Structure 1
Amino acid sequence: MGTKNNREQRLLLLLTKRHDYVTSDELSELLGTSQKTIYRLIKKINQEHGGGLIQSEKGRGYKLNYEKYISQTATRGGQRSQYSPQERRNRVMEELLLSSPKAKNVYALFEEYYVGESVIFNDEQLIADALQRYELKLQRKQRTLAVSGKEVNIRRAIADLIQLHNIIEIEELKNHSELNFNTYDVLFILDQLKLIEKQLSMTIPYPYNVNIFSHLYILISRLRKVQHLPEEELNPLSSKEQAGLEQDLRLYEVAEAAIKNVENYLHSLLPESEVYYLYQYLTSSRMQGSLSKVTKFSTKVVEITNTYLKEMSQRLNIPIKGDSIFLDLGNHIKPMINRLEHGIHVKNSLLDQIKMTYDTIFTDVTEVSKAISQRFDLPSINEDENGFITLYFARIIETNQLPIRTVIMCTTGVGTSELLRVKIEKKFPELEIVDVVASRDAQRFTEKYPGVDLILTTINVSDTIPINSLLVSAMFTADDQNRLQQKIEAIYDER
């Protein structure tokens, strides 16, 4: 995603968190850009979405039309007829990778994009730079281009290019025209996934099912393009790889059966290495089912899981204990280690939202992950993995959050204040209403109500009592409710 598109996405994500208007000054500070840029981004977003997505009100700022945002997010895919420069380069690079080591005519590669020589030359340089990250080379001979490098790196690059991480329901792939997939291949692979799940008596959830789909689709596409795999793939497995296959014979048998089905589908023999690759994807996936929970882990998994729990407990300043928490995180860490050691990258489609919503937790997890990579000699733990781990600790906080002890203060403490109490208890169960008091009791408040987190008051008391307070109307309007929700989130963040 380009920088400009990323700023638009961050602006939209920020507005989804807010229930009320946000000023341009506050938006510019949060996004680290000028107010002029904020105005330009909002104008562009509204133009692209048919107007009215971001509402404005003089003196109050900007607010997201959330219902319109949700409905458009669900229906926008596959509506574009043009490709951005980045998308054009990605599509060309994907074609070159699928055909590697075969050379492709330059003009045939770029024909459908209607670009000139200078654009093609610039794209070549950028594609070559992108391929270097995977230890691959772009070679030009006369009027052709070709990619050279190890097969494992070629597939890793293709997997990163195929934008499947926005597909949450795997069945959507049957009718997803924007991906331009071979329908017969899609149906065949979906059948293999169902067969794998049936044989294991488990469900492979998103995003792991998408990762396995991508792996098999790339394998089939590569064979169609090149007819036979490179010599390196035909070499027998090493003793270490063979021993790895024997660690879980059930997964090995399932992987072997699936690759045999691919052979029959393509009428082509495949090397044992393909069974090994699929086996690694299976062992790198979390699964759901009665037998999916592992209760015994290797020493390495135990130590890494305990390190996360200990370090995050200290950073978040909350106790994190219990066998269920350990098992839940351990069952994520185990396949994560396998993914890291075998270069399997799982895309996290919620990463931007996670970073925006749980920014403090994500930052802490990232720091802990960096230390864990160094201590346990692991490859660097990427942002997508850190996002998944962040959700575990966010859930721990949400499920173990103590109620917010609240006192309602009104002029008399009776009448409308009791109505206010009923409304608040109905809409905000996370608040524990300790008492309803009259404003004349404000002087003895801290003595009478120790440990109170919040005062909801119909009169201004912020200067007299050193406790979080929120001024609301006795009728508790929609605006009051929105401001109270923000106050609750702020208190939880402080905790």
Structure 2
Amino acid sequence: MGTKKDREQRLLLLLTKRHDYMTSDELAEHLGTSQKTIYRLIKKINETHGDGLIQSEKGRGYKLNYEKYISQTNFQPSQRSQYSPQERRNRVTEELLLSSPNAKNVYDLFEEYYVGESVIFSDEQLIAEHLQQYDLRLERKQRTLAALGKEANIRRAIADLIQMHNIIEIDELKNNSELNFNHYDVLFILDQLKLIEKQLEMTIPYPYNVNIFSHLYILISRLRKVHQLPNEEMSPLSKKEQERLQQDTALYQVAQAAIGNVENYLHSSLPTSEVYYLYQYLSYSRMQGSLSKVTKFSSKVVEITNTYLNGMSQRLNIPIKGDSIFLDLANHIKPMINRLEHGIHIKNSLLDQIKMTYETIFTDVTNVSAEVSQDFTLPTINDDENGFITLYFARIIETNQLPIRTVIMCTTGVGTSELLRVKIEKKFPELEIVDVVASRDAQRFTEKYPGIDLILTTISVSDTIPIPSLLVSAMFTRDDQNRLQKRIEAIYDER
């Protein structure tokens, strides 16, 4: 229930919202306490802050003297809610989900936001609609609310609500005050991630490490709220699930050890299904390390990987081949298929930047993904997954770009132009300087060197030469360098 001071504050805040008389019975129901406690609280408040702050009238109940209330600054809420309506609903929803199936008093859920009954009613409708997306329902009984449904759906809804998707470096979680996480729980889970990586002799990269962190944090938070998970969590594993664990002993043993550590940390027993849940997250994650290099791929993974490589090669009009490229992408495709088939969703905090920076590649990947989903009977591959795949092909392009064939042109083709050549080759190794020519030879060099991408010139180039050019000074100043860098980026984008 909280301290006496908290109860007094809650009573006063309730009366400020009503601006009318409330009976002791109504007050007791709203605050989830007894009528005797209400009488004692009112007496204490009036003794401490002056008779008449809470007025009483026989047959009508109690009413706050609002003018007297606002004149006493020590009763004013110290800080109005700084949350937006959406943030408020998210926080209330998170509290309901973490406490599920237990009911929460409506007043307790909304008291820190200083909103009235109409706002609370509106929030309830919107929260109920949100929960329906996860096959969950919002149940209201008298003055309480409860989120009800299957445990797997509850955890999925919590995972989507927890605002940690912009975390890329996992160690940032130690000092991120915006997340409002339990500091000791954060340190404990980060230790478990390090132990998992050590035992597997692998590194779990972003975003998979963040998703595993989220899974364990939700598990710990749920147990702190409800102490005992719903009965469905206690059911034994199916024969198929048991067989899968036995076939992958390395991940199974690691998951078992980590859940055992959680049990010791919370002084609470957990069902075997929790080992399987963590095992699933590990198996759905991309691993980087010695074992990942010898991973065996199913024929399905091989076919899907080749579909992406061939489809993107055609769309980008560049050859994409090689064992290392195949292995790199296949190691991503394998856990992605598992995630799709089991409804695991990973957030991509870089998605907006990826769409903006690699717009063409992202569009092409999305189109290939649509073909993959259809041809291999997979669920729709969402934008988050497409964003991750886009980075693979962006990296291939960045690291395998053909050099930009460049000609340097000046009045004579000698002297300062050779100095210019040395400076450019040193600063921009992606340029292949095929020759230094004089302006009088402009027409002939286009025949001698077909396929030139760029002319760097210290004089104006004739409009009759159909090759992009950039005018620079012979001293190749910093401004020239910046302009050339932008031109190089533009050429790569056009490719």
Query: Alignment partner of 1:147: what SS?
Result: strand
Instruction: Give the TM-score normalised by structure 2.
Output: 0.80
Alignment of 1:43-192 (within 5 A): 82-192=82-192
Cα offsets for 1:25-83 (capped at 9, x unmatched): xxxxxxxxxxxxxxxxxxxxxxxxxxxxxxxxxxxxxxxxxxxxxxxxxxxxxxxx933
Deviation at 1:462, TM superposition (A): 5.5
Amino acid in structure 2 at the alignment position of 1:108: D
Q: Is the 8 A contact 1:458 1:472 kept in 2?
A: yes
CA distance in 2, matches of 1:385, 1:417: 49
1:340 aligns with 2:346: no
Match of residue 483 from structure 1 = 483
Number of equivalenced pairs: 415
Deviation at 1:200, TM superposition (A): 1.4
Deviation at 1:123, TM superposition (A): 2.5
Match of residue 314 from structure 1 = 314
CA distance in 1, matches of 2:122, 2:477: 57
Seq. identity, % = 87
CA distance in 2, matches of 1:362, 1:381: 13
Moved more, 432-441 or 457-466: 457-466
Amino acid in structure 2 at the alignment position of 1:429: P
1:193 aligns with 2:190: no
Task: Specify every segment of 5 or more residues in structure 2 that has no aligned partner in the other structure, as ranges.
Answer: 1-80
Amino acid in structure 1 at the alignment position of 2:312: M
Deviation at 1:373, TM superposition (A): 1.4
CA distance in 1, matches of 2:295, 2:117: 60
CA distance in 2, matches of 1:457, 1:436: 10
1:213 aligns with 2:184: no
Change (3 A) 1:100 1:480: same
Match of residue 428 from structure 2 = 428
CA distance in 2, matches of 1:386, 1:462: 44
**RMSD of aligned Cα (Å):** 1.7
Match of residue 464 from structure 2 = 464
Amino acid in structure 1 at the alignment position of 2:329: L
Task: Specify every segment of 5 or more residues in structure 1 that has no aligned partner in the other structure, as ranges.
Answer: 1-80
- Higher RCO (Cα < 8 Å, 6 or more apart): 1
Q: Is the 8 A contact 1:280 1:342 kept in 2?
A: no
Q: Is the 8 A contact 1:140 1:146 kept in 2?
A: yes
Instruction: Give the TM-score normalised by structure 1.
Output: 0.80
Q: Is the 8 A contact 1:138 1:147 kept in 2?
A: yes
CA distance in 2, matches of 1:396, 1:348: 20
Match of residue 299 from structure 2 = 299
Cα offsets for 1:227-273 (capped at 9, x unmatched): 21112212221222222222311111111121122222222221111
Match of residue 358 from structure 1 = 358
Deviation at 1:225, TM superposition (A): 0.9
Change (3 A) 1:491 1:238: same
Deviation at 1:368, TM superposition (A): 0.8
Moved more, 98-107 or 275-284: 98-107
CA distance in 1, matches of 2:297, 2:171: 33
Change (3 A) 1:422 1:276: same
CA distance in 1, matches of 2:202, 2:142: 52
Q: Is the 8 A contact 1:294 1:331 kept in 2?
A: no
Q: Is the 8 A contact 1:100 1:146 kept in 2?
A: yes
Which is greater in Rg? 2
Change (3 A) 1:387 1:441: same
CA distance in 2, matches of 1:176, 1:493: 37
Cα offsets for 1:377-433 (capped at 9, x unmatched): 222212111111111111111111111010011222233322322222122110011
Q: Is the 8 A contact 1:462 1:469 kept in 2?
A: no
Deviation at 1:454, TM superposition (A): 0.7
